[in-house]
Amino acid sequence: MTSPVGLHRVVEPVGVLPQAAWRLDAGAEIAPNEVRIRVERLNLDAASFRQLWEKHGGDGDAVRAEVLEIISTRGKMQNPVTGSGGMLIGTVEEAGRRSPLGLKVGERVATLVSLTLTPLVVTDGLARWDGRGEQVPCDGWAILFARSIAAVLPADEDPQLSLAVLDVCGAPALTARVVARVVAERAGVGDVRPVTVAVIGGAGKSGSLSLAAARRAGAGRTVGVVPVAAERDALVAAGLADVVALADARDPVGLSTAVTSALGVPADVTVVCVDVPGCEHGAVLATADGGTVVFFSMATSFAAAALGAEGLAADVTMLVGNGYVPGHAELALGLLRSEPGVRELFGARLAAD
C-alpha cells in the first residue's frame, strides 16, 4: 500500500516515518501519488554544513565525500550528528496520476520539505561541488510524497537566490505570526508598550528575513544580534533592525546584557537563528517574563532550552520552528522583493559562497 506520508519508502527501521528512518528506498519508479524530481541543486542546512566543515577542518574534498556517503548509505541527506538536512531545487520529471501536489512535468520547483525525509539519489558524484559552500550543484533524482510540499520557482528570480530564501521561509512566517499575535493582544487590553523583538543571528538568511517580517508584523523596536563586526556593519547597512548589537550567543549573560541594553528592556519575542550549539540559555535570559522564544536553529538542544528555562525560573513560552506555516514561501519571496536590505544580504552571502 502506498502511504501519503512515505511509509512505503522506509527500509529501516520499519514502522517509523521517513524523517526518523535510518534508510529510505530512493528507487526512481514512482507510486501513483508520488512525484519524481530531477535534482539540480541541494541546499545543505547551515548547522549540518558547519558540523561537516569543522569536522573535516575545512577540507572540501572530505566534506564532499562524506555527503556522498550519507546519501548513498541512507537514501536521503540527513547528517547523523545534527539530524538535519536541507532542501533542493529541480525539475518535475514525472508526476503520478494521483499526486495531490498539482505539479506538472517540466516545472522548476523547490522542495519545501527537509532532505531528511526526501528519498534522494545522486548520480554525478557531486563532481561540480568543491565542498566549500552550502549550495551543492548535482545531478540525480528525489521523490516527493502526497503530503510533501513544493513551490514552483519564480521565473523572474535567480534560482540560487530563490533556493536560499525558500530554504528558510518558515522562519519569517512564524516570526510574523508570533509578533502579530503579541501586538494584537496588547492592543486588545489597551497596552501601548511597543513590542520588542530580538533576532539572534540577524545577519544570516533566516535572521534577516525574520527581522523584516517582525517589523512588517508590527514590532515596535527590533535588535539584530551578531557575533562579529563585519556582520554588524552589513546588517546596519541593510537597515533591517532598529539597532544592531555585538554579542556571542553562547555567552548567556553577555547576550542578555546586549539585548536588554539595545532595547531598553528584555525582548518580548526572541528568535534564535544561529547555527551553533549552546545558545539556548542566553535566548531565555534575554526574554521578558511572559515572552516567547522561537528556536529555528537545528543546532538547538531542546532539552537544554527546557531545563535551562526551568533553572532560571523563566516564565517564557518556547516554540520549535518546524519550517512550515501556510503561505510561508510567498511571504519570504515577498520580503525578498520588497526589502532591499534582504536582497543585499542574500546576494552577498551567495557571492561569498
Question: pLDDT 10s digit of each residue in the chain, 353 long?
Answer: 689 999 999 999 999 999 999 999 999 999 999 999 999 999 999 889 999 999 999 999 999 999 999 999 999 999 999 999 999 999 999 999 999 999 999 999 999 999 999 999 999 999 999 999 999 999 999 999 999 999 999 999 999 899 899 989 999 999 999 999 999 999 999 999 999 999 999 999 999 999 999 999 999 999 999 999 999 999 999 999 999 999 999 999 999 999 999 999 999 999 999 988 899 999 999 999 999 999 998 778 888 988 988 999 899 999 998 888 999 999 999 999 999 999 999 999 888 87
Alpha helices in 290-339 (DSSP H): 302-311, 328-338
Residue 32 class from Cβ within 10 Å (0-12 exposed, 13-18 middle, 19+ buried)?
exposed
Note if the bond before 13 is cis, omega within 30 degrees: yes
Q: Give me the pLDDT at residue 351, please.
A: 83
H runs (alpha helix) in 189-339: 205-216, 229-238, 252-263, 280-285, 302-311, 328-338
Report how far apart the first and last C-alpha atoms of the chain are (Å, whole number): 43
DSSP assignment of 24-37 equals E---SPPPTT-EEE
Q: In what order do the strands lie in the sheet with 120-122?
A: 120-122, 135-144, 35-44, 86-95, 108-111, 150-152
Q: What is the pLDDT of residue 1?
A: 63
| Domain annotation for the chain: domains and CATH numbers | 7-153 (no CATH), 169-351 (3.40.50.720)
Residues 259, 270: Cα–Cα separation, whole Å: 10
**527546557: which residue's cell?**
306
Cell match 515577498: residue? 334
